[in-house]
């Protein structure tokens, strides 16, 4: 609620008396930050301003209050308070440096070896060597596919006062568990947020074969999975490979390659090994992976030749992409419009070219099972030879040119407008003329191929110019 609205209905009293009604322009803002004495920022600290407004510090240890009326305000953080003065249109900063609680968890890794059907418990010690109290919460996350009954924790929440220590008990039960290795983690959170430790827990059942060392390596759009079977020398009857909980392969090796994976999508893999004629199985940990989009997917070195193989044909050719995977085909574009799909050769003929006096640009894209690449380089075709230009006798010299280009038409024709385009088809010069001759200064232009376009009453003339 804005301050002005609150005053309008009820008014309020501060330590300096009744605050008058003010306009929005007579307000400022306040940023309150809370730091622990050791320098760490404190997330989750509750801040109260004037006994009316409250907020909680974020991950940066700060919270903002906007549109506070000009004047003095009392700011309170836990058991600390101070007075600040809000100036019109100014952001006022207030920093509290306070003693903070701490949250220490030991140990951060628990490994327990049990006999089949054996039960056990482990103790995790929680302590607060800091000042003030801290609330904590523990959440159990099971990492091994299958039953979740093999582990539990108690308690799940609590409060630690300054200097206090408590215990969290982890209960482990190997009854009817047929995974030789079971993994879980305990995720802790605190309020205020002074620490978020994680404890890794592993239960190993002795005497059973198990799968360990599960890892992956990405190559192009392939994911290679590798694992080890223990004890050494033991082979599984079969290994089932899962992606996103869907069976994708059955193998008898200790590795598998998942080919043609879609890039930029997260997948989760795990494997399950079957032993003793299928009467016993054990699963690996989960692995999450994302295959990056390969580099340099577009075709290279696109070029064209005009009037080949026939008079009205344009032949395009290009090189395949310099990337790790072969495309399924190529799409052809003329001036940004798709004219052919899934061409499987490295050449294409655009037949029956009938447009007049046009500069045309071609591009090619490579098509893959996961999508289409960006455009290749652009190759241009100047269509200036299909029709008869006998109505205009154009004199263009010198060509190639370094400094000045002289343009001359027959006396009975006039140039209405002149335009010079670069090899990308972009206009770099445009001028109205109303004469049958023109002198164009090109000395400031970079060497290369350009296109001169003349507009006359009889039509357009397009001519290639080489600037040295």
Residue 389 within a domain: no
| Same-domain check for residues 260 and 319 | no
- The answer on pLDDT for 356 being more than 80 is no
Contact at 8 Å (CB) between 100 and 131?
A: yes
Question: Is 320 part of any domain?
Answer: yes
Where b means 16+ CB within 10 Å and e means fewer, 51-86 reads eebebebeeebbbebeebbbbebebbbbeeeeebeb
| Structure confidence by residue, pLDDT tens digits, 103-125 | 999 999 999 988 878 899 999 99
134 shares a domain with 115: yes
For residues 340 and 409, membership in a common domain is answered with no
Checking if the pLDDT of 250 tops 90, the result is yes
Rama region for 39: left / alpha / beta (φ>0; ψ in -120 to 50; rest):
left
Tally of domains in the chain: 5
Phi–psi pair at 4, nearest 5 degrees:
-60, -35
Q: Is residue 79 a part of any domain in this protein? A: yes
Q: Per the domain annotation, does 295 fall within a domain?
A: no
Q: Strand (E) positions, 206-323?
A: 210-219, 222-230, 238-243, 246-251, 255-258, 266-275, 280-283, 287-290, 300-306, 314-319
Which range is least confidently modeled, 110-114, 282-286, 443-447, 460-464? 460-464
> Residue 388: inside a domain, yes or no?
no
Q: Cis omega (within 30 of 0) on the bond before 400?
A: yes
Q: Are residues 324 and 270 in the same domain?
A: no
Average pLDDT over residues 251-275: 93
* Residue at a domain's end among 290, 325, 340: 290
CATH number of the domain to which 128 belongs: 2.60.40.10
Same domain, yes or no: 430 and 375: no
For 42-58, write each residue's pLDDT tens digit. 888 899 999 999 999 99
415 and 376 within one domain: no
In this prediction, what percent of the chain has a pLDDT beyond 90?
A: 50
- For residue 176, what pLDDT is reported? 78
Same domain? For 313 and 377 the reply is yes
Residues 72, 117 within the same domain: no
pLDDT at 85: 94
Q: What is the DSSP letter of 1?
A: -
180 in the same domain as 140: yes
Instruction: Looking at the structure, tell me whether residues 372 and 448 fall in a common domain.
Output: no
| Tokens coding 85 | 């003065």
Does the pLDDT of residue 23 top 60, yes or no? no
Percent of the chain with pLDDT over 70: 89
Q: Is the pLDDT of residue 18 over 60?
A: no
| pTM (two decimals) | 0.50
Domain C-terminal end among 54, 77, 98: 98
Is residue 390, in this structure, part of any structural domain at all? no
Examine residue 16 and state whether it is found in any structural domain, yes or no. Answer: yes
Residue 148: band (very low, low, confident or very high) from pLDDT cuts 50, 70, 90: confident
Range of the domain at 305: 300-383
Instruction: Select from 390, 396, 395, 397 the least CA-distant residue to 458.
Output: 390
Contact 376, 299 (CB under 8 A): yes
Which of the listed residues 185, 205, 225 is the one where a domain comes to its end? 205
Q: pLDDT band for position 159 (50/70/90)?
A: very high
85 and 25 fall within a common domain: yes
- Residue 28 inside a domain? The answer is yes
Distance CA 39, CA 122 (A): 34
pLDDT tens digits for range 222-242: 999 999 988 777 888 899 999
Same domain, 355 and 405: no
Q: Which pLDDT does position 160 carry in this prediction?
A: 96
Q: Does residue 5 surpass a pLDDT of 50?
A: no
Q: In sequence order, which residues have a C-beta less than 8 Å from that of residue 454 and are 6 or more positions away?
A: 394, 407, 409, 415, 417, 418, 419, 460, 461, 462, 463
């Amino acid at each position: 609620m804005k301050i002005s609205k609150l005053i309008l209905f009820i008014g309020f009293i501060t330590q300096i008396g009744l605050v008058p009604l003010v306009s929005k322009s007579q307000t400022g803002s306040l940023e309150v930050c809370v730091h622990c004495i050791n320098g760490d920022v404190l997330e989750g600290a509750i801040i109260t301003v004037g006994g009316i407004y409250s907020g909680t510090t974020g991950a940066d240890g700060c919270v903002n209050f906007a549109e506070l009326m000009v004047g003095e305000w009392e700011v309170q953080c836990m058991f600390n308070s101070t007075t600040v003065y809000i100036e019109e249109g100014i952001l006022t900063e207030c920093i509290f440096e306070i003693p903070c609680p701490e949250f220490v968890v030991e140990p951060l890794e628990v490994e327990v070896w049990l006999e089949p059907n054996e039960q056990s418990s482990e103790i995790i010690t929680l302590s607060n060597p800091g000042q003030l109290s801290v609330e904590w919460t523990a959440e159990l996350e099971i990492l091994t596919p299958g039953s979740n009954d093999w582990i539990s924790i108690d308690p799940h929440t609590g409060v630690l006062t300054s200097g206090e220590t408590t215990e969290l008990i982890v209960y482990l039960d190997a009854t009817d568990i047929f995974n030789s290795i079971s993994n879980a983690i305990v995720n802790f959170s605190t309020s205020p947020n002074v620490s978020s430790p994680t404890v890794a827990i592993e239960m190993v059942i002795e005497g059973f074969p198990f799968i360990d060392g599960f890892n992956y390596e990405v190559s192009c759009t392939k994911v290679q999975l590798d694992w080890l079977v223990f004890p050494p020398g033991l082979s599984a009857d079969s290994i089932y490979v899962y992606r996103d909980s869907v069976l994708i392969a059955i193998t008898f090796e200790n590795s598998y390659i998942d080919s043609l994976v879609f890039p930029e999508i997260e997948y989760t893999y795990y494997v399950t090994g079957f032993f003793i004629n299928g009467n016993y199985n054990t699963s690996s940990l989960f692995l999450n992976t994302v295959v990056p989009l390969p580099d340099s997917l577009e075709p290279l070195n696109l070029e064209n030749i005009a009037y080949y193989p026939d008079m009205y044909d344009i032949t395009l050719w290009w090189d395949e992409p310099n990337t790790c995977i072969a495309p399924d085909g190529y799409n052809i574009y003329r001036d940004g419009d798709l004219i052919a799909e899934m061409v499987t050769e490295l050449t294409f003929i655009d037949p029956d070219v009938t447009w007049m006096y046009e500069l045309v640009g071609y591009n090619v894209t490579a098509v893959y099972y996961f999508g289409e690449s960006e455009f290749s380089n652009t190759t241009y075709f100047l269509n200036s030879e299909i029709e008869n230009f006998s109505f205009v006798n154009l004199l263009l010299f010198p060509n190639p040119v370094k400094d000045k280009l002289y343009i001359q038409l027959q006396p009975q024709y006039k140039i209405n407008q002149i335009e010079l385009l670069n090899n990308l088809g972009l206009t770099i010069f445009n001028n109205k003329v109303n004469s049958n001759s023109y002198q164009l200064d090109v000395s400031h232009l970079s060497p290369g191929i350009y296109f001169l376009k003349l507009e006359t009453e009889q039509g357009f003339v397009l001519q290639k110019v080489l600037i040295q």
